[in-house]
Amino acid sequence: MGNETNQAHFEPTKQKSRINALDVIRGIALLGILLMNINGMGLPYAYSDPSVSGGSEGLNLQVWIVNEMLFEGTMRGLFTLLFGAGVILLTKRLENGGAGISTADIYYRRILWLLIFGLINVWVLLWHGDILFPYAIFGLMLFPFRNTSVKNLIIAGCLLICIGVLWDISDYNTDLQTQKVGLEAQVLKDQGTELSEVQEKDLKNWGKLNTKKTPEEVNEYIEKMHQGYWAIATEKVKMNQFMQTWFPYRIWSWDILSFMLLGMAFFKLQIFHGERSNTYYLIMLITGYLIGLTINYLETSAILDSNFDKLTMHKAGMTYQIGRLFTTIGHIGLFMLFIKSGILDFLQKALAAVGRMALTNYLMHSVITTTLFYGFGFSLFGDLQRFELYYIVGGIWVLQLIFSPIWLKHFHYGPVEWLWRSLTYNKKQAFKI
């Protein structure tokens, strides 16, 4: 009898035990991530620089500005905070249920299967900007922090962000030096002076830093994405390797791990539970937006004034993490006030359903967009302007907001969530209601 009772505690979270606010915010973050991802999915070399492709004037420019001000890094940030919160939710429930050492067993099995899903998203579904793989990599580091105090979690998260900022400042200063010696070499060359080997290298490095993709390179990449599945999969190998090696080391350590630790602290502070006062969330909203949007505005203005100069974009990157942190905090305040208000109840329920099926819906983004954009589907890659991509985003949003609640009326979990839970608990879970 005792073993049977303990085993019951090791089952996945039942609906009545879920925290609704977490599901709603997760749904918002999941849909919001597509606002930025769609640019990497449907355009060549234009994720952050609209002057390369997709259009940088009129409505296209306005779309870029809105994204830079409100959504760049913040929806990912929100999703990452929720991942950290989920670590506390899962381990606390297991430990309170008497799981003991099984808590670590279940947790690490869950994370390692997430890593597999991330590899599938990258190498099979062909989305090089996948977030599941780095989530799993850094998720492996979180378990020892589950009992860490709120204060120390916040200190650790902020310290990681500061390290990232300092590294960005160092990189920008290196860029300035590259510009200085490169321009000096260019002057000598223009004067007819024969350059030394070192000066030739300086000029070449400055050229790489200062030069954008040419129209010929853009068109060549578009043509490659209009080919068949295996040709595209082969073409993406180098980018996939870059995103899964250099990026976690140089970017994600300060971008993802920091927010995971902060998310663990936020959960312990019960920020995501909706149990804080409206004044508390209003202060988060005002403070977050006041600081975050000010930084974002200054960055965006500088980039626009420079006509998307690469060095200026690198300079703006020095304050990127700070701006996105505070803007994300502002988002949390806004979304929690929205949830607590109870307004648009039908929408909140739909968003919660999207959040409960976040993994399925996230992978569906890859399935839908690769089918629409790549050559084995409708070959729309590079054919749409930046603003036109958001017709597709809107369509996917409507689809998932309608489909997710209907699915969950008939099934306990989304299909990938069911598979993930069954693999995590080494037991086939109930699926159909």
In tens, the pLDDT along 344-372 reads 999 999 999 999 999 999 999 999 999 99
pLDDT digits (tens, 9 = 90+) for 32-75: 999 999 999 999 999 989 999 999 999 999 999 999 999 999 99
Residue 92 included in any domain: yes
Is there a domain that residue 129 lies in?
yes
User: How many residues appear in the chain?
Assistant: 433
| Count: domains in the chain | 1
Does a structural domain hold residue 312?
no
Residue 207 in any domain: the answer is no
pLDDT band for position 114 (50/70/90)? very high
CA distance 228 to 233: 9
Residue-wise pLDDT tens digits, 276-285: 999 999 999 9
Residue 40 within a domain: yes
Confidence category of residue 14, pLDDT binned at 50, 70, 90 = low
pLDDT of 13 strictly over 70: no
Report the percentage of the chain scoring pLDDT > 70: 96
Do residues 213 and 99 make contact, with C-beta atoms less than 8 angstroms apart? Answer: no
pLDDT band for 318, please (50, 70, 90 cuts): very high
% of the chain surpassing 90 pLDDT? 89
Residue 210 lies in a domain: no
Strand partners, 411: 432
Gap between the Cα atoms of 325 and 291, Å rounded: 9
Cβ-contact 368, 394 below 8 angstroms? no
pLDDT surpasses 50 at 17? no
The DSSP string of 15-32 is GGGS-HHHHHHHHHHHHH
393 belongs to a structural domain: yes
Give residue 3's pLDDT.
40
* 142 belongs to a structural domain: yes
Q: Is the dihedral of CA 420, 425, 427, 430 positive or negative?
A: negative
Split at pLDDT 50, 70, 90, the class of 4 is: very low
Can you tell me the mean pLDDT for 209-231?
94
Is the pLDDT reported for residue 18 higher than 80?
Answer: no
Domain enclosing residue 328, as ranges: 2-10+17-149+222-306+321-424
pLDDT at 7 over 70: no
pLDDT digits (tens, 9 = 90+) for 63-83: 999 999 999 999 999 999 999
Apex CA 95: angle with CA 94 and CA 99, to 5°? 70
Query: What does the pLDDT read at residue 98?
Result: 81
Helical residues (DSSP H) of 97-193, grouped into ranges = 102-123, 132-139, 150-190
Q: Are 400 and 361 in contact (CB under 8 A)?
A: yes
Task: Tell me the C-alpha distance between 352 and 276, whole Å.
Answer: 20
